Amino acid sequence: MSAIARARRGFIAAFGIEPQGVIIAPGRVNLIGDHVDYNDGLVLPMTISVGTAIAWGPSGSDRVDAVALDCQGERYQFCLGDPKTPSEDGWHSYLKGMAMCSAEAGLPIAGARMAIAGSLPRGAGLSSSASLCIAAGRALAAAAGESAPDPTRLALSAQAAEHRFAGVKCGIMDQMVIAHGQPATALLIDCRDLGTQTVCLPATWAVLIVQSGVERELVDGHYNQRRQDCETAAQALRLKSLREATLEQIAGASLPSQVERRARHVVTEIARTKQTIAAIADADLNGFGQLLVASHASLRDDFDVSVPEVDSLVDLLNRAIAGKGGARMTGGGFGGAVVAVLEQSALPAVLDKVTSEYRTPLGAIP
**Neighbouring residues of 167: CB distance < 8 A, sequence distance ≥ 6:** 219, 224
Would you say 65 or 269 has its CB closer to ligand GLA?
A: 269
Interface with ligand GLA: number of residues (CB under 6 A) = 11
Which residue, 38 or 76, has its beta carbon nearer to ligand GLA?
Answer: 38
37 binds ligand GLA (CB under 6 A): yes
Q: How far is residue 223's CA from residue 89's CA, in Å, rounded to a whole number?
A: 18
Closest contact distance (angstroms) between CB of 18 and ligand GLA is: 35
Residue nearer to ligand GLA on the CB measure, 11 or 38: 38
CB-wise, 31 or 320, nearer to ligand GLA? Answer: 31
229 is catalytic: no
**Binding span for ligand GLA by CB under 6 A among 27-35, 65-73, 88-96, 116-124:** 27-35
Residues in contact with 53: Cβ distance below 8 Å, sequence separation at least 6, in sequence order: 2, 3, 4, 6, 7, 22, 23, 24, 116, 117, 118, 119, 135
Q: Does 302 bind ligand GLA (CB under 6 A)?
A: no
The contact mask relative to ligand GLA for 161-200 (x = CB under 6 A, - = no) is ---------xx-xx--------------------------
Using CB under 6 A as the binding rule, whether residue 40 contacts ligand GLA is answered as no
Provide the mask over 121-160, with x wherever binding to ligand GLA is found by CB under 6 A and - wherever it is not.
----------------------------------------
C-alpha 13/C-alpha 81 separation (Å) is 28
Candidates 28-36, 53-61, 198-206, 208-216 — which segment interacts with ligand GLA by CB under 6 A?
28-36
Per-residue burial over 281-298, b = 16 or more CB atoms within 10 Å of its CB, e = otherwise: eeebbeebbbbbbbbbbb
State which residue, 174 or 229, has the beta carbon closest to ligand GLA: 174
Q: How far is the CB of 37 from ligand GLA (least distance, A)?
A: 5
Q: Residue 23 interacts with ligand GLA (CB under 6 A)?
A: no
Q: How far, CA to CA in Å, does 286 sit from each of 67, 147, 265, 299?
A: 47, 42, 22, 20
* β-strand pairing of 63-68 with 112-118: parallel
To 5 degrees, how large is the angle CA 173–CA 221–CA 74?
Answer: 75
Please check whether residue 196 is in contact with residue 180, taking contact to mean a CB–CB distance below 8 angstroms.
yes
Site string for ligand GLA, 320-349 (x = CB under 6 A): -----------xx-----------------
Closest approach, Cβ 256 to ligand GLA, in A, equals: 22
Only one of the segments 35-43, 62-70, 83-91, 256-264 lies at the binding site for ligand GLA (rule: CB under 6 A); that segment is 35-43
What residue type is assigned to position 174 of the chain? D
Closest alpha carbon to 108 in 151, 137, 66: 137
Q: 59 or 128, CB closer to ligand GLA?
A: 128
| Binders of ligand GLA in range 271-300 (CB under 6 A) | none
Considering Cα of 272, then 276, then 277, then 281, what sign does the dihedral take?
A: positive
Within 8 A by CB and 6+ apart from 277, the residues are 44, 188, 199
CB of 170 vs ligand GLA, minimal distance in Å: 3
| Distance set, CA 107 to CA 19, 132, 150, 157, 242 (Å) | 22, 17, 8, 9, 31
State the Cα–Cα distance between residues 18 and 12, nearest whole angstrom. 6
The Cα–Cα gap between 205 and 279 comes to 13
Catalytic residue among 34, 40, 174, 229: 174
CB of 93 to ligand GLA, least distance (A): 16
Residue 72 CB, nearest approach to ligand GLA (Å):
27
Shortest distance in whole angstroms from residue 306 CB to ligand GLA: 12
Q: Using CB under 6 A as the criterion, which residues of the chain lie in contact with ligand GLA when the complex forms? A: 30, 34-35, 37-38, 170-171, 173-174, 331-332
